[in-house]
Structure 1
Amino acid sequence: MQRVLILGCPGSGKSTMARLLAARTGLPVIHLDRLYWRKGWVEQDKAVWQAQVAEVLAAPAWIIDGTYGGTLTQRLAAADAAILLDYPRWLCLVRALKRVLLGFGRARDDMADGCPERLSLSFLIYIWNFRREKRPRIADELRRFSGRVIVLRTSAEATRWLNSEDVQTTELPRVRA
């Protein structure tokens, strides 16, 4: 496991999982939010974004945190493992709200410079609709993916997996997304 994608709804804990997995494996972490957003929550130019993703994928090893459907196929083609944090939407919503309330107006280390924590109705709606609108495509992509797929449905499952004897080499059973 040298090229790992971490996918899931906002608020599922993708960035936290990436940091914890990096601590266990020594693999470098790439937060896609840092590449995608420009100061003031301005979206990156599409051509620049595509070039940045291609550059990241060319590296020999990484953990990439972020779902970003527009580059998912490309990222899965380069990955050898994908972790889906498949948590209930209410939990993702609560976590996202907690993150906003505790960090409102402050920068996060997994976010682009100049993009302080904020709250928007569109973001909350995105989280609420993620399971119905985004997850089916992710599940389809993961069914076609030839690498290892790890689906974690609870925080307890995630903790158990991260604390398993050998996260790097343990072959977990392939779970249908």
Structure 2
Amino acid sequence: MKKIAIIGSGGAGKSTLAQRLGSILDIPVYHLDAIHWKPGWKAISRAELIEETEKILQHDAWIIDGNYGGTMDIRLQQADTVLFLHYPTIYCLYGITKRRIQYRNQTRPDMGEGCPEKLDWEFINWVRQFNKTKVPAIYDRLSNLDDTTIHIFKSRKKLNLFLNQLEEKVQQLS
């Protein structure tokens, strides 16, 4: 596990997972939200996002969290491991609501500077529709990967079990 792509709905905990995994494995973490959003919630162009992603992919080891369909295929093709957080919609809606309360009037650590936490109807609906509209294409993409370890987590409990076992293995090796 040296090149890890983390995908899943907003509110699933991708960035939190990336941070924990980065700490366990001592691998640099890159949050696509922090790259994509500039101050004042100004998005960079798709071409810029692809360029920035390709720079990260040149490193020997990385953890990248985020969906961003425009760069997903290149990330998945380069990854040796994919972690897909495929949680129930209600869990993710709770996640984005909790995050909004926790980071009220603040910028999250995994977000670009000058982007205070917000929660709008467009994002709520995106999360609400994620399992219906985005997940089938994600499973399609995952089915086309060769020589890639794919972990699909449908509960936080199973993810935590995986992380605890990984942490134990790493500690035994050091």
Structure 2 alignment gaps of length 5 or more? none
- Match status 1:136 vs 2:139: no
Any idea what SS the aligned residue of 2:83 has? strand
Cα distance, 1:102 vs structure 2: 2.1
- Match status 1:53 vs 2:56: no
Distance of 2:84 and 2:21 partners within structure 1: 13
Judge conservation of contact 2:46–2:70 (CA < 8 Å) in 1. no
The amino acid across from 1:159 in the alignment is: N
The amino acid across from 1:60 in the alignment is: D
Cα distance, 1:77 vs structure 2: 1.2
How many pairs align?
A: 168
Cα distance, 1:167 vs structure 2: 6.4
Aligned to 2:153: 152
The amino acid across from 1:93 in the alignment is: L
* More helix per residue: 2
**Identity within the alignment, %:** 36
Aligned to 1:85: 85
Segments of 4+ in structure 1 off by > 4 A?
none
Distance of 2:170 and 2:45 partners within structure 1: 36
The amino acid across from 1:148 in the alignment is: T
Change (3 A) 1:51 1:140: same
Query: Once the two structures are superposed, what CA deviation does each residue of 1:28-87 show, in whole Å capped at 9, x if it has no partner?
Result: 100000111111111102222211011011111000011111111111111101000111
Cα distance, 1:27 vs structure 2: 0.7
Aligned to 2:169: 166
Query: Once the two structures are superposed, what CA deviation does each residue of 1:77-119 show, in whole Å capped at 9, x if it has no partner?
Result: 1110100011100000011101102212101110001101011
Distance of 1:64 and 1:46 partners within structure 2: 17
Aligned to 1:114: 114
Distance of 2:71 and 2:170 partners within structure 1: 26
TM-score when normalising by structure 2: 0.93
Alignment of 1:3-22 (within 5 A): 3-22=3-22
Structure 1 alignment gaps of length 5 or more? 169-177
Distance of 2:20 and 2:28 partners within structure 1: 11
Distance of 2:138 and 2:170 partners within structure 1: 23
TM-score when normalising by structure 1: 0.92
Judge conservation of contact 1:31–1:65 (CA < 8 Å) in 2. yes
Judge conservation of contact 2:96–2:119 (CA < 8 Å) in 1. no
